């Protein structure tokens, strides 16, 4: 007998409506592209609030439509969600997703109408697939140079700039009948740890944290229907628990001081900041008690989701989790579903070229170098982040679309024989382009770039992450970002 078929003692004694309310507070990931797993069907039958899709659930656009239709045939008010920030973060490439740059490039271009066109394209595409909740945009401010996780996902470091682009994104998404979600409250941009991998701490004093709250205030004022919490400890706000588990941050700060009345959803509980320190099941119980309305369990192993569910039911049964707290949370989720669960499949066309226009405008905000033809491109970048990055985009491929004579070397890890590599590259007679991606976080990239630049002072340096002094910057490695740089390199 599987976990799904072993109801806890608490589940057997709770009122049916309270059991349903508890299930509404869960968002589950799962495996597969066609059939809905039986344990997931049982969860949906009992009131599951939402599912979150990933690349593992996507084969092509028509398949996604069939899958979302099947999910809603089980329960029409199920919210179907996905991370859909654009740029390098995208799970819908195989479903013909519109190409838009990361938010940082939109901030550099600084045209809210253009940001709205990009957000509209993403949301219009989601609606045609039957996906009506988007865990975007990122409202974090990127102001810590060593931050490993926010970076170009942010609109920038300026809270006023971020606020105007957040408003544009939220309004455009809502106009398509898709729920947006500003994340990660109260801000992940001041940390030097990725909460996917461990406990992240922002030790700044309270007065310095206020700037990070400003974009979230703007998102709330714009009517954002969802916020996502950060798995970050803020000693100035609550020294004992990360924001996702903190009543002081979720209750006192977000609900009482900022007046947010929408759905507060946790970041994924299997992230190590929660899973290693508390465990997913305890994390679910504590997050709901602290003020979250939904908790995400994104891993495809439904046993983890079921363990979280049972922890919530047991806490309700024992009184450790107040019944009124769960009913309040479920009520918010129910109202969200009433507004967004049903997709608008018949949608007006979106601007498929908005993303490339934005990427071009971001690249061209600085003085441009002269074109290089027949260049040798050394493209250095870290291995893709498993939760965020696509795989396969590279600068050489984009450049060869305009300059077939271009050659290159791509590395996503430190070379085994750096001296031999440098010698071979330095001796090439072709113009040399050296691209790095956040080399300040990856010393092997910085060392290799600097060594090549010393051997070849004529080398053209390109940044494919945040700006680090290169002649060109793409503001991340999304397809349109790299294409916009390639056009400049080739003089296209």
pLDDT (tens place) for every residue of the chain, 492 residues total: 455 445 555 556 899 999 999 999 999 999 999 999 999 999 999 999 999 999 999 999 999 999 999 999 999 999 999 999 987 677 999 999 999 999 999 999 999 999 999 999 999 999 999 999 999 999 999 999 999 999 999 999 999 999 999 999 999 999 999 999 999 999 999 999 999 999 999 999 999 999 999 999 999 999 999 999 999 999 999 999 999 999 999 999 999 999 999 999 999 999 999 999 999 999 999 999 999 999 999 999 999 999 999 999 999 999 999 999 999 999 999 999 999 999 987 779 999 999 999 999 999 999 999 999 999 999 999 988 777 766 668 999 999 999 999 999 899 999 999 999 999 998 899 999 999 999 999 999 999 999 999 999 999 999 999 999 999 999 999 999 999 999 999 998
Question: What are the φ/ψ torsions at residue 242 (nearest 5 degrees)?
Answer: -65, 160
3-state secondary structure of 236: coil
Q: How far is CA 16 from CA 21, 152, 366, in A?
A: 9, 45, 61
Supply angle C-alpha 324, 329, 334, rounded to 5.
120
Contact indicator for 440, 446 with CB cutoff of 8 Å: yes
pLDDT of res. 1:
42
Axis-axis angle for helices 323-340, 280-290 (nearest 10): 90
Q: How far is CA 469 from CA 103, 154, 427, in A?
A: 20, 19, 24
pLDDT of res. 387:
72
DSSP letter string, 245-284: G-HIIIIIIIIIIS---SEEEEEETTSHHHHTTT-HHHHH
Distance, in Å, from the CA atom of 82 to the CA atom of 92, rounded to the nearest integer, reads 9
Q: Mind spelling out the 3-state secondary structure of 50-82?
A: EEEECHHHCCCHHHHHHHHHHHHHHCCCCEEEE
Which regions of the chain carry the CATH code 3.20.20.300? 3-340
Give the pair of three-digit tokens for residue 358: 């934005």
What global pTM score does this model have? 0.95
3-state secondary structure of 11: helix
Contact indicator for 407, 376 with CB cutoff of 8 Å: yes
- Of the residues 19, 140, 174, 267, which is catalytic? 267
Contact indicator for 70, 62 with CB cutoff of 8 Å: no
Supply angle C-alpha 439, 162, 297, rounded to 5.
75
Q: Mind spelling out the 3-state secondary structure of 392-460?
A: CCCHHHHHHCCCCCCEEEEECCCCCCHHHHHHHHHCCCCCEEEEECCHHHCHHHHHHHHHHHHHCCCCE
Question: What does the radius of gyration of the chain's CA atoms come to, in whole angstroms?
Answer: 23
| Annotation says 23 is catalytic | no
| Annotation says 196 is catalytic | yes
Distance, in Å, from the CA atom of 244 to the CA atom of 442, rounded to the nearest integer, reads 29
- Of the residues 165, 196, 317, 376, which is catalytic? 196
pLDDT of res. 391:
60
Residue 261: other Cβ atoms inside 10 A: 12
Distance, in Å, from the CA atom of 37 to the CA atom of 5, rounded to the nearest integer, reads 13
Buried b (16+ CB within 10 A) or exposed e, 63-76: bbbebbeebbeebe
Contact indicator for 235, 201 with CB cutoff of 8 Å: yes
Domain 3-340 CATH class label: alpha beta
Which regions of the chain carry the CATH code 3.40.50.10090? 366-490
Supply angle C-alpha 476, 480, 482, rounded to 5.
55
Closest CA to 46 of 69, 70, 68, 78: 78
Domain 366-490 CATH class label: alpha beta
């Amino acid at each position: 007998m599987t976990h799904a078929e072993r109801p806890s003692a608490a589940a057997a004694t709770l009122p049916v409506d309270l059991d349903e309310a508890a299930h509404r507070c869960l968002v589950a990931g799962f495996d597969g592209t066609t059939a809905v797993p039986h344990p997931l069907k049982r969860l949906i039958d009992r009131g599951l609030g939402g599912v979150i899709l990933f690349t593992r659930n996507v084969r092509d656009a028509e398949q996604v439509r069939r899958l979302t239709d099947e999910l809603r045939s089980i329960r029409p008010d199920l919210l179907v969600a996905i991370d859909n920030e654009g740029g390098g973060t995208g799970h819908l490439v195989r479903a013909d997703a519109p190409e838009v740059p990361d938010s940082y490039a939109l901030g550099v271009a600084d045209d809210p109408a253009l940001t709205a066109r990009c957000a509209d394209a993403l949301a219009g595409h989601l609606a045609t697939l039957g996906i009506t909740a988007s865990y975007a945009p990122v409202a974090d401010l990127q102001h810590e140079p060593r931050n490993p996780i926010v970076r170009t996902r942010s609109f920038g470091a300026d809270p006023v700039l971020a606020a105007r682009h957040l408003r544009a994104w939220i309004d455009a998404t809502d106009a398509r009948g898709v729920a947006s979600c500003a994340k990660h409250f109260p801000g992940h941009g001041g940390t030097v740890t990725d909460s996917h991998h461990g406990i992240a701490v922002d030790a700044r004093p309270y007065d310095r944290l206020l700037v990070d709250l400003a974009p979230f205030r703007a998102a709330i004022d714009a009517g954002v229907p969802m916020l996502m919490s950060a798995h970050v400890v803020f000693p100035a706000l609550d020294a004992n628990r990360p924001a996702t588990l903190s009543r002081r941050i979720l209750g006192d700060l977000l609900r009482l001081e900022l007046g947010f009345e929408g759905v507060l959803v946790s970041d994924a509980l299997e992230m190590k900041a929660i899973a290693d320190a508390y465990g997913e099941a305890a994390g679910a119980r504590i997050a709901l008690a602290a003020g979250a309305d939904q908790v995400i369990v994104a891993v495809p192993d439904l046993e983890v989701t079921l363990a979280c569910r049972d922890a919530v039911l047991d806490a309700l049964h024992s009184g450790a989790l107040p019944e009124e707290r769960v009913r309040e949370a479920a009520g918010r989720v129910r109202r969200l579903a009433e507004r967004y669960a049903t997709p608008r499949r018949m949608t007006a066309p979106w601007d498929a070229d908005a993303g490339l226009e934005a990427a071009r405008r971001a690249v061209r905000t600085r003085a441009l170098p002269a074109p290089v033809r027949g260049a040798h491109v050394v493209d250095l970048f870290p291995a893709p982040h498993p939760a965020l990055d696509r795989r396969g985009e590279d600068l050489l491929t984009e450049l060869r679309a305009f300059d077939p004579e271009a050659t290159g070397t791509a590395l996503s890890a430190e070379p085994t024989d750096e001296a031999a590599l440098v010698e071979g590259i330095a001796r090439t007679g072709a113009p040399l382009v050296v691209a790095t991606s956040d080399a300040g976080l990856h010393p092997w990239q910085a060392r290799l770039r600097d060594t090549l630049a010393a051997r070849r002072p004529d080398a053209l340096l390109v940044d494919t992450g945040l700006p680090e002094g290169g002649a060109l910057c793409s503001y991340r490695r999304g397809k349109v970002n790299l294409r916009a740089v390639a056009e400049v390199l080739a003089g296209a």
